[in-house]
Amino acid sequence: MKKVESTLENIRDDIKKFYDYKVWHFITMNGVALDGERFEVQWIFSRYEAMDESVIYYTVTEYDKIIPSIEDIIPSSIISQREVVDMFGVKIDGSEAGLYLDADSLQMPLRGCGL
């Protein structure tokens, strides 16, 4: 598993350069709580027909920053973007809240979780 660090400003360009849709399979987007203020956002890929070859693009950011969407680059990313929005209570461009959690659910259940 290879990790590649990026920034909120550059992540779209980095993924655009990296992602060849017939070579790389987008697995999911992920979040990992680091402390009460920050979390690590991840975009996880694996190479088709390769033995256990995966790449994680990541950036560390505050919860109140707006995360850029990669839906126009990888259409299937929308579903995991919406999951991250609900689970961490963050904003991602163009990704609505409420896919997983209803208004009366425990909100942003994974924010600060596991610390």
Partner 1 sequence: MKKTIHIPLGSQHISLLEPVKFKFECENEKIIGVDSDVGFVHRGVERACTTKFKFDGVGYVVARVCGLCAITHSMTYTASIEKMLQTQIPLKAKYLRMLLLELDRIHSHMLCLSHVSENAGFEAIFMRIMGDRELIMEIQELITGNRVQFDFISIGGVNRDISSEHIKKVKEALKVVRSKVDGYIDEFTNNWSLSLKYKNIGVLSLDDAYRFNAIGPLARASGLKIDVRNEIDYLPYSEIGFEMQTSTGGDIHARNVVRLNEIVNSIQMCENILDALPEGEIQTKVKGKPDGEVLVRYEAPRGELAYYVKGGGKPMLDRVRIKTPTFASIPSFSHIFMGSQYADAPAILASFDPCLSCTAK
**32 vs 60, beta carbon nearer partner 1:** 32
- Check: CB of residue 91 under 8 Å from CB of residue 85: yes
- Check: CB of residue 53 under 8 Å from CB of residue 59: no
Using the rule CB under 8 A, is 73 a contact of partner 1? no
Question: Considering only CA atoms, which of 114, 101, 88 is closest in space to residue 29?
Answer: 88
| Strand partners for 4 | 57
Q: What is the per-residue binding string for partner 1 in 95-114, x denoting contact by CB under 8 A?
A: ---xxxxx--xx--xx--xx
Q: Which residues bind partner 1 (CB under 8 A)?
A: 1, 21-22, 25-28, 30, 32-33, 42, 44, 46, 48-54, 56, 74-76, 78-80, 83, 86-87, 98-102, 105-106, 109-110, 113-115
